[in-house]
Structure 1
């Protein structure tokens, strides 16, 4: 027992170190923070779920399924055009539109500028017992260019709205659905496409800032590479409304004069204008050509006793020209007609045709014209009266240029029987405007050597011809002439032409032979539709007047 009493006592447990206590405290605090974060997350989720459950507008906004992807269920809502908004004051309307811009003013208020065609309207959405904050937020954060279906109440605006074309009314949104969302970012901002092109000399620099404006100037090349977006700009819509108007006015006037619309082939067996500026193609192992004009066929129709014909169609010119007024594919407005005694009868019809088109553009398409000219500032087009269009003989035009040169102006070398250069044309246009007060005029009796082989020589001077060009603001829009209607004379002129043309070659022989059976004297002309639009609106580049332009550098998109 004594030995047992002498055994060593059990060791007392060691107290935890300070480091261990600190570590335990940190673990505890970490666990508490984690638990608190989870609790907050749960609370937020529950709060959101509760808010979603209380979203009184959840059926009135959102993204629609892709049209055609589900069974169609008609809504019964009548869609309206924004242009008719004044007729619907105080009423609820439904319409398709797209987002020009959207902004959240506060948690309870948002504004969206909506566009349809050339019309824009301001819309307002405000939180209420029927419109939730969630719907306001959704509306104010819609991506630009997204396609929407909107239902709203038309109300008189308290003051004119300068940011919209519809200034006296606004839409108070009741429902808003995304029909097709626009991906962001856009390759090109539509609002930038509304601005002028960079001035000549800036090249392809897209980041050059306009004077007094920090927004980028976007080059024509960038716009054309993203043409679908570029064409959404209101200014571009206006350009093509005007272009369509020229076509309609052309047809309207000539129809009233008894012209018959025709469609001639665009794949030819011979070049209609001669020369090398023609696109050749392989036509089942044989060479063929894209039509440089409908010239041969217009004349053959006159020989076929069609007294007056007109055509609107594509024209192809293989000119390696990269100027601001040339395209390799453009739209030709062509006509051909018999005349009774003198080819000036044809000129008079052409003059009156263009005056009719100009006057129609001034009245029927004034809104679109003014919209474009507000960006590309150009003076109003000065028009003469019918019968008073300046008709200037070519030698007189040369004289006017030489007289200007005598006053110290540099107009380049002027040959008596040479064609005019573009700078000389523009200078002559300014001289005609000063002298006659007209932006539209005719230059008559061109040198024979610079005209096609089928042009009638002038009886007054064998070096001149019965041919003419029409000009707008000093730039050519139409070339025309009296045509040779005698097969023997036509054959002779073809052989003497530079370069010579064989009147018996395939594709040409049929044209020449058509005049062997009694053809009346006739003449006509071909207008470039895109040039008319360019010079009327004061646009800096003809590519702006073609939906998807073709030039020596561009065959896409």
Structure 2
């Protein structure tokens, strides 16, 4: 009876899946298919992006150039422009050399680079597009500060003035950017720190901690001078040396029109040109020689040679152990010498008009540079007198003015630097002029070749010129009679032998007939320092020399 039951059980068909089970399976299948499709799309997008990145549509528009001429490359004859002329090229492509003031990436598709040429800066923009790759954007946004570039871009006017650049109304849309010379980082001195004023304490030699609320320290003079090639890149320093070059050229321009002949005299002498001990002695083939304290002897010898008017610009060496803010052991002298027709004040008049010409032209031709420097080192505008109205103050009157103001000074003593500055303030108050002349100095404090005054044997026909109460020129009528010159040299303190090596030829040159003459010598660096109100004269010498520094 049991067998039929067993046979019946074995022959039954399996039950079909329920409707719920079928729906669940269908959903799982669809979910798997969607996931697979998403992965496929992601892979395709990544492959497409990698393909696009691999192509880099801008690959020929950026990068690092080989060392100039190291590959024997030919000139492209591409015209280069000056950044200062950018306004003339609105909506045009320009190419120019510059360097990176700073670079920053805003995003993967946008970067900004501030570019500089001389004292001019412009904001440059680079944005990714179908024609400009993100790789190029990334490269431009990470170029190291101070790297030298060759850039091509489109000049576009902006709606709002750009505060971070000197070019306010235009920006550059970069099309090509090549690194010509890459700057190493980190820099030993940040150029932006060299744009700031020096510490006020002392001579500004040491770095100074930042003021409260300011993250950056004030960089001292020694740090700047030790890294001078970086320091000189600061816009303020470029402006200082633009003005210095201007004074040099204006000096030549004015005197050339006055028929002065530009001469060059020796700087290795057989005798000290000013007398005294403040000379650098050199070994000249086993003999003693000296670096020139001035071109004085030779200027006068040229007048004796029938040159009516001469001028010279050249180095001057003074072995003075003066570690002050206005002294250098090597500076640039602006010298002139001329015949006198009737009175030595003729020379003073030429010198006064020369300086008024220089000052007025600095106010016009070099206005931008002057304003840039004075925006950092704040000083009152230089007060100028009119031509023919430069205050000429007899030395004895200057002494009287100081006494009346409370200074203790004797009639025939030389003034100290603080007394000179005090007198400058008194003159400004009385005459409304930052430029003036002191005349008729005591004979005892002038060089031996100075003509004594015919009115007072203790005084001389000599003069100094001052800017803001500080000396910029020393000058005088010179002795043009050989016997009087020899006598004055013997009486000088210390005495000078008129028959000594290097002086005999000088004295003898007046034995053959020499007209009355006079002149003066300026310190170029002092003119620049006092015009701009700079705290230290070393700022006006590219690579200054003082008792402590002979490098770099």
Q: TM-score, normalised by structure 1?
A: 0.89
1:26-45 correspondence runs (5 A): none
Q: Distance in 1 between the 2:288 and 2:346 partners?
A: 38
SS of the residue corresponding to residue 288 of structure 2 reads strand
CA distance in 2, matches of 1:158, 1:436: 48
Shift of the alpha carbon at 1:52? 3.7
Equivalence for 2:226: 225
**2:30: which partner in 1?**
none
Contact 2:112–2:125 under 8 Å retained in 1: yes
Answering whether residue 475 of structure 2 is matched by residue 480 of structure 1, we say yes
Hey, what does 2:533 align to over in structure 1?
Answer: 538
Shift of 1:255: 0.8
1:430 lines up with 2:425 in the alignment? yes
**What stretches of structure 2 of length at least 5 have no aligned partner?**
1-42
Distance 2:411 2:419 in 1: 13
Tell me how far 1:72 sits from its aligned partner: 1.0
Counterpart CA distance in 2 for 1:224 and 1:329 is 16
Q: 1:105 to 1:204 in 2, by over 3 A?
A: same
Structure 1 unmatched runs, 5+: 1-41, 406-410
Deviation at 1:211, TM superposition (A): 5.6
Matches within 5 A, 1:137-156: 137-156=138-157
Aligned mates of 1:435, 1:191 — CA distance in 2: 41
| Superposed displacement of residue 231, structure 1 | 0.5
C-alpha offsets along residues 256-308 of structure 1, whole Å, 9 cap, x if unaligned?
11111110000000000000000000000000000000000000111111111
Distance, in Å, in 2 between the alignment partners of 1:380 and 1:538 is 10
Runs of 4+ in structure 1 off by over 3 angstroms are: 42-52, 201-205
1:452 is matched with which residue? Answer: 447
Contact 2:347 2:519 in 1 (8 A): yes
Aligned to 1:6: none
Rounded Cα–Cα distance in structure 1 between residues aligned with 2:208 and 2:539 = 20
Q: For residue 200 of structure 1, report the CA deviation from its aligned partner.
A: 2.2
Instruction: Tell me what 1:235 maps to.
Output: 236
Report the Cα offset of residue 483 of structure 1: 0.5
Residue 416 of structure 1 pairs with residue 417 of structure 2: no
Alpha-carbon distance in 2 for matches of 1:74, 1:509: 59
C-alpha distance in 2 between matches for 1:388 and 1:381? 16
SS of residue in 1 equivalent to 2:405: helix
Deviation at 1:76, TM superposition (A): 3.7
TM-score, scaled relative to structure 2: 0.90
In structure 2, relative to structure 1, the CA distance for the partners of 1:367 and 1:511 (3 Å cut) is: same
Number of the residue aligned with 1:168: 169
Q: Give distance in 2, aligned partners of 1:417 and 1:131.
A: 78
Q: Distance in 2 between matches of 1:291 and 1:233?
A: 33
Distance 2:523 2:292 in 1: 14
Q: Which residue of 1 aligns with 2:20?
A: none
Aligned to 1:248: 249
Structure 2 residue aligned with 1:525, among 520, 524, 538? 520
Is 2:508 the partner of 1:507? no
In the alignment, which residue of structure 2 is the partner of 1:35?
none
Change (3 A) 1:205 1:528: closer
Matches within 5 A, 1:248-327: 248-327=249-328
Structure 2 distance, partners of 1:347, 1:462, is: 21
Question: Aligned residue for 1:398?
Answer: 399
Q: Corresponding residue for 2:28?
A: none
* 1:551 pairs with one of 519, 526, 546: 546
**Cα deviation 1:96-124 (Å, max 9, x = unaligned):** 11100011111111110000111100000
2:190: which partner in 1?
189
CA RMSD of aligned residues (A): 1.7
Aligned positions, number:
510
C-alpha displacement at 1:79, in angstroms?
1.3
Distance 1:76 1:335, change over 3 A: closer
Distance 1:341 1:111, change over 3 A: same
Task: Determine if contact 2:199/2:208 at 8 Å carries over to the other structure.
Answer: no
Distance 1:212 1:493, change over 3 A: farther
CA distance in structure 2 between the partners assigned to 1:399 and 1:304 by the alignment: 42
**Compared with structure 1, are the counterparts of its residues 306 and 533 closer, same or farther at alpha carbon in structure 2 (3 Å cutoff)?**
same
Contact kept, 8 Å, 2:125 with 2:171, in 1: the verdict is yes
**CA offsets per residue over residues 165-195 of structure 1, 9 Å max, x none?**
1110110011111111000000000010011
3-state DSSP of counterpart to 1:311: strand
Partners of 1:378 and 1:222 lie apart in 2 by 25
Determine the structure 1 residue equivalent to 2:135: 134
2:438 aligned residue (443, 450, 469): 443
Moved more, 211-220 or 304-313: 211-220
Q: 5 Å matches for 1:354-373?
A: 354-373=355-374
Separation in 1 of the partners of 2:411 and 2:451?
A: 19
Q: Cα 1:75–1:49, aligned 2, differ >3 Å: closer, same or farther?
A: farther
Secondary structure at 2:146's aligned position in 1? coil
| Larger-Rg structure | 2
Give the structure 2 partner of residue 36 of structure 1: none
- State how far apart, in whole Å, the 2-side matches of 1:415 and 1:295 are: 29
**In structure 2, how many angstroms separate the alpha carbons of the residues matched to 1:232 and 1:362?**
24
Residues of 2 paired with 1:508 and 1:424: CA distance? 35
Shift of 1:73: 2.8
After TM superposition, the structure 1 = structure 2 runs for residues 28-67 of structure 1, keeping only pairs within 5 Å, are 50=51, 52-67=53-68
